[in-house]
Chains A and B, each alone.
Chain A
Amino acid sequence: DIQMTQSPSSLSASVGDRVTITCRASQSISSDINWYQQKPGQAPKLLIYAASSLRSGVSLRFSGSGSGTDFTLTISSLQPEDFATYYCQQSYSTPYTFGQGTKLEIK
């Protein structure tokens, strides 16, 4: 199985900050990575697919980059609604696997 390692596990930031979350794959996955946002009591929501493609309707504050084994999700200017847990997920091969999550909290 491909292991996805996210860092940091948790992050405290303020409204207006720029934040970056990193995901590393245990082997090359090309650009086959997706990013999700999950708020308490809700299902995950797709933000970014194929490493850098923004899902329609998702704020332009969100962007993704990377290829091979190292990937990043960046939020350009944090808004109150962005405080949530973020997961990366590889779609390169089954079994699909997720990172352990990054909990973004208000400082």
Chain B
Amino acid sequence: QVQLQESGPGLVKPSEALSLTCTVSGRSINTYYWTWIRQPAGKGLEWIGRISSSGRTNYNPSLKSRINMSLDTSKNQFSLSLSSVTAADTAVYYCARVGEGWGTVTFFDYWGQGILVTVSS
């Protein structure tokens, strides 16, 4: 059973960096892509980016200049850093696994419970 758990500060000041970690259990992060998705309160889902088991990244262009994702295979964790945050970055942040089917089929099959990050002074 694959389980994911987000961790990090729940409150970040404007203009500072948001840093979150996702700890994976039940499966090595040395396979699959891993991803971050966020959801402002009462709103829809926004894909932030993904990182492969080799550290290759794809970011949402809307956030690309402010994002960095990384892996720590020794701890079976992957991380998100989002710089220069504003109130618009307040959201529940989810980490998830990018599952794979046949061919190019991909989907988000395992999710963390989510962590609320509020940007406020």
Contact = CB atoms under 8 A, between A and B. Distances in A.
Interface of A: 1, 32, 34, 36, 42-46, 49-50, 53, 55, 87, 89, 91, 94-101
A83 B72 CA distance: 38
B47 interface: yes
Interface of B: 44-47, 50, 58-62, 94, 96, 99, 101-102, 104-109, 111-114
B47 A44 contact: no
A100 B102 CA distance: 27
B47 A32 contact: no
B101 A55 contact: no
**7 closest A-B pairs by CB:** A43-B111, A49-B107, A96-B47, A95-B60, A98-B45, A34-B107, A50-B105
B105 A44 contact: no
Given A55-B109, A87-B44, 16 more contacts: A1-B61, A32-B105, A43-B96, A43-B112, A43-B114, A44-B108, A46-B107, A46-B109, A49-B99, A49-B105, A50-B102, A95-B58, A95-B59, A98-B45, A98-B47, A101-B44
